[in-house]
A and B are shown apart, each in its own frame.
Chain A
Amino acid sequence: AQTVTQSQPEMSVQEAETVTLSCTYDTSESDYYLFWYKQPPSRQMILVIRQEAYKQQNATENRFSVNFQKAAKSFSLKISDSQLGDAAMYFCAYLSGSARQLTFGSGTQLTVLP
């Protein structure tokens, strides 16, 4: 079974600074997808960024980018120019190419300091 590990329960960053959230996963598959979701206090999960395992290029979405290290099974999220609205719980998630349900990590609570 696949597992996803987020070793940082809490992180904080100064507004306008850069922060990196860590995620590692364990799988024996070669075909899969990785996601970062954001969960604000409203509880709704919002997709931040996704990465296909077969793509070597790291995904980027505006201020959000990932560092995907397939051999190391690492998938970290970098948030540049942090904003107060980025404060939320962030979840790393894995989707097997053959399965339908996401496997989530335990989350990292990000605080943005003004």
Chain B
Amino acid sequence: GAGVSQSPSNKVTEKGKDVELRCDPISGHTALYWYRQRLGQGLEFLIYFQGNSAPDKSGLPSDRFSAERTGESVSTLTIQRTQQEDSAVYLCASSLDVGRGTEAFFGQGTRLTVV
């Protein structure tokens, strides 16, 4: 596709349920990032994938959060046993990562509401 695509756009779930968020990066982009944006705040880094290298999971807030990426394509972010504090917008970004400072292109995010 022309840009980074995320689905669903909005998700309402009950506390304790598991959710899966999907990200389709720009074709050919080897790097993929997940960020979390709480209401009125900046973006917090969650996880980074680069090609076939081991992902950088240093930003994941708890073991309820996990993410996978198939090769250099789709990524899913899974939150198990959701809590109300997980309510946020989850943004995905991808980049060519051919050099330092390469521009990251963002999707429109998934707004997760845990009730």
Contact = CB atoms under 8 A, between A and B. Distances in A.
Interface residues on A, range: 20 to 34
Nearest to B45: A101
Nearest to B109: A43
Interface residues of B, number: 26
Contacts of B20: none
B49 to A, nearest CB: 10
27 contacts: A33-B100, A43-B89, A43-B91, A43-B108, A44-B109, A45-B43, A47-B103, A47-B104, A52-B101, A91-B42, A91-B43, A95-B100, A95-B101, A97-B101, A100-B50, A100-B56, A101-B33, A101-B48, A101-B56, A102-B33, A102-B43, A102-B104, A104-B43, A104-B44, A105-B42, A106-B41, A107-B41
Nearest to B33: A101
A105 B56 CA distance: 21
A45 B4 CA distance: 11
Interface of B: 31, 33, 35, 40-45, 48, 50, 56, 59, 89, 91, 93, 97, 100-101, 103-104, 106-109, 111
A4 B41 CA distance: 12
Nearest to B49: A100
B27 to A, nearest CB: 18
Contacts, number: 58
Contacts of A47: 103-104
Contacts of A44: 106-109
A46 B35 CA distance: 15
Interface in A15-45: 31, 33, 42-45
Among the interface residues B31, B106, B107, which one has the most CB atoms of the partner chain A within 10 A? B106
- Name the prevailing secondary structure of the A interface residues: loop
B59 A101 contact: yes
Contacts of B103: 47, 50
Contact of A97 (B41, B100, B106): B100
A91 B91 CA distance: 14
B108 A42 contact: yes
A6 B48 CA distance: 25
A91 B89 CA distance: 15
